[in-house]
Chains A and B, each alone.
Chain A
Amino acid sequence: MKRSKAFITPLINEAAGFTLIMLIWGAASLFYPPYIIPSPWDVLGSVKTFLPQDFMLHLNITLYRIFAGFTISLLLGTILGVLAHLKGWSAPMNSLMLALQVLPGMVLGVIFLLMFGLGSATPILLIATLTLPTLALNTMNGLAKTDKALQELLVTLHARRSVTFTHIILPALIPVLQSNFSLGIGLAAKVVVMGEFIGAQDGLGYLLNAARITFDMKEVFFYLIVLLLFTLLLQALQSLFSSLFLKKYFYPE
């Protein structure tokens, strides 16, 4: 694939997704009054009236929290998933992660708030804890699909451990990491809002909460779209990275 095409295709895909959401939103706004669902053009037209001067500061803080929380859960989830696969701990790990998954986010958020106070710790830990089970389970299930026939071939060749890792584990891990990224970043963008609702006095979640309290739906929708755009942009970057560097691992069956 040419580099320019590899760059443009993911952007086009994400732009198409974004356009579709905007169309659905626009269509829904035709059936509801603006104080419930304002139209996209209404929101865009009144940005100047509600956008705080320190918006970029709030945006940066939220992005930092998403990255920090997501990085922790991606690393931890991948390590736990790989360990469970290699050590045969799949069944207990499965139970543990399912138990973690049913913990209500609000309760955890309050616990983290009481433990760490207001600030970045609560949203970051909330993202890490709530996205971890999905990523660990996804890693474990993905690795369960390693090619046993190829594994046997390497056994008969007395292959070095590093070769087994690069030829068996890594190729199974790459599609898993890709889907972990897609699943996790969307989930992290959702959880950061909850974390900032509960335990922060800055960030997009905090602004969103303030707008929600005053029923300023134009502002609510604006911050949601900012989060959506951020998620789609990261998704496009991840697709670009895959098409440029990992293409050989995505082969037809």
Chain B
Amino acid sequence: MTDVMLAVRNVSKAFGAHQVVDNLSFTLNRADRLAIFAPSGAGKTTLLRLVAGLEQPDSGDITLQARSVITIFQEPRLFPFLTVEENIFLPFKAQGRAISPSDRQNASRWLEVSELLPFIHHYPCQLSGGMKQKAALIRGLLGHPDLVLLDEPFQSIGVESRQSLIRFMLDFTPGQTLLLVTHSGEEIQQLAQKVLVFQQPCLTRPRECFVENFSESGWPARQHEIMINNSDASPVSPVSAPHGLTY
């Protein structure tokens, strides 16, 4: 199988007059952990939805080589009438796959790390927002999918818990191919290997950036360290965001 898991070629998407993605191209190789860093409302979520097949591009094409792709949304999207255990094993049930003893063992380890083990038979309405998001994360990663699309998944999880989950995630799924959209420099530092930075309030002409160049606040630390792969684009300012943009 080829090493390219995802190829996005000249993809554009608009909602009415609002251009959200404009002629965007990038590739994601096996075991890559790529973060998309862009202003609020720039279309990061739309990009993930396009890759997940929930939206169709107006032009361009998206090629997925991954056999199994899991999307972990901003909201937990747990089934309210299923327990935590039933929710985390849902992908197996949905695809008619058997749950092996090792899957159950992995689930227990995940639940332990995320401190959800005592809540395994609880329903989502009995959990806090952070606990729900952890359950959604476990559900996404448990089956070792080829590609994981993460849409700001740690937003509602507390700092300590977030760090232990990220650490566990990287230990548990080494070589996991990830496409992450986030606002958090901390998440980029911990999770991503490279970053595509978008300056415009629309996803177009990205600059590739090393993770080390990201400060925890989320902005590249030093301007000259930004790897620009787009010669006609102006460099991203490390000091202040371009006018009108909120990162």
Contact = CB atoms under 8 A, between A and B. Distances in A.
A160 B96 contact: yes
Contacts of B95: 157-160
Contacts of A149: 73, 75, 77
Interface stretch (B21-29, B86-94, B104-112, B162-170): B86-94
B81 A248 contact: yes
B93 A163 contact: yes
A251 interface: yes
Interface string B67-81: 001110101010111
Contact of B73 (A153, A158, A171, A249): A153
B94 A159 contact: yes
B53 interface: yes
A249 B54 contact: no
Interface residues of A, number: 18
B245 interface: no
B79 A150 contact: yes
A174 to B, nearest CB: 9
Nearest to B75: A149
B89 to A, nearest CB: 12
Nearest to A153: B77
A149 B123 CA distance: 18
B52 interface: yes
A152 B45 CA distance: 14
Contact of A160 (B71, B73, B94, B123): B94
B156 to A, nearest CB: 15
Contact of A155 (B53, B81, B93, B96): B53
Contact of A158 (B54, B75, B77, B94): B94
Contact of A157 (B70, B75, B80, B123): B70
Given A156-B52, A156-B53, A160-B96, A251 B69 contact: no
B233 interface: no
B53 A157 contact: no
B99 interface: no
Given A152-B54, A251-B125, A252-B125, A157 B91 contact: yes
A184 to B, nearest CB: 24
Contacts of A154: 94
Which of B70, B80, B95 has the largest count of A CB atoms less than 10 A from its CB?
B80
Nearest to A149: B77
B123 A150 contact: no
Interface residues of B, number: 20
B75 A251 contact: no
A58 interface: no
B179 to A, nearest CB: 13
Given A157-B94, A160-B96, A171 B81 contact: yes
A167 interface: yes
Contacts of B96: 160
Nearest to A252: B125
B182 to A, nearest CB: 19
B75 A156 contact: no
B81 A156 contact: no
Interface in B34-92: 52-54, 69-71, 73, 75, 77, 79-81, 90-91
Interface in B117-170: 123, 125
A182 to B, nearest CB: 21
A152 B73 CA distance: 10
B103 to A, nearest CB: 15
Nearest to B49: A152
Interface in A114-155: 149-150, 152-155
A163 B92 CA distance: 11
Given A163-B94, A251-B123, A252-B125, A156 B54 contact: yes
Contacts of B77: 149-150, 152-153
Nearest to A156: B71
6 contacts: A153-B73, A156-B52, A160-B94, A163-B93, A167-B90, A171-B81
6 closest A-B pairs by CB: A159-B94, A157-B94, A156-B71, A248-B81, A251-B80, A153-B77
